Amino acid sequence: MKVEKKPEIQEMEEKPVAEKITIGHVHMSGCTGCLVSLADNYEGLFTLLDNYADLNYCLTLADVRDIPKMDVALVEGSVCINDPHSVEDIKKARKNATIVVALGACAAYGNITRFARGGQWNQPPQHENYVPIGDLINVDVYLPACPPSPESIRNVAVMAYLLLRGTDEQKELAAAYLKPPHGPRTARHRGMWMRPDL
Ligand code: SF4
């Protein structure tokens, strides 16, 4: 009689972290280039998602329609204030996220959307006023650039993880990375700054 060999039980791979954080990508009026820049981390993105963070909201990649509670909201794009749905969404993102990151120049200071005056073919003509997200909500971390580099987005995500889940020493390290040591001027030169009371 042929005895079937039982499949071997594979040992679970040991993860270097205890509990991942949740990250959402909140898409306002942007071109998706900031999200592409996150994806351009290639294997680094898998490491991030394997070890540090679950992507629990991202209209482009995940089938979740309502903005859920999340640890970090990466907000791409500015807000069209003629569109009540957009204004409601950015306020909901603020309410549901512990840390809000203005991801990219559009979210941080409006960028090219500042020049929009409506009339685009795929938008109702009344959509013509766009403001940076900081005009409507409190922002914790600014990461301007068009788009921010893949590494800078990944670093902010990992540092947010350390800030929220790390040891006291790691929290200090993360705060030093996210919060510039010599005030806003230096911060602007580094291309990133953080709300001082976070
Ligand atoms: Fe697109 Fe640049 Fe705006 Fe990001 S900052 S949404 S890449 S235009």
Task: Supply angle C-alpha 113, 115, 117, rounded to 5.
Answer: 95
Domains in the chain with CATH codes: 21-190 (3.40.50.700)
Q: Tens of pLDDT along 138-194?
A: 999 999 999 999 999 999 999 999 999 999 999 999 998 887 655 544 444 445 555
- Centre of ligand 1 to C-alpha 19, Å, is 31
> How far is the centre of ligand 1, averaged over its atoms, from the C-alpha of 166 (Å)?
31
Q: What is the pLDDT of residues 78-126, one digit of tens each?
A: 999 989 999 999 999 999 999 999 999 999 999 999 887 655 665 666 7
Ligand 1 center to 191 CA (angstroms):
15
Tokens linked to 191: 């291309």
Give the phi and the psi of residue 48 in degrees, each rounded to 5.
Answer: -60, -45
Dist. CA 157–CA 139, nearest whole Å = 15
- Map tokens 């209209």 to a residue: 59
Cβ–ligand 1 contact at 192 (below 6 Å):
no
Q: Does the CB atom of residue 133 touch ligand 1 within 6 A?
A: no
- pTM of the predicted structure, to 2 decimals: 0.83
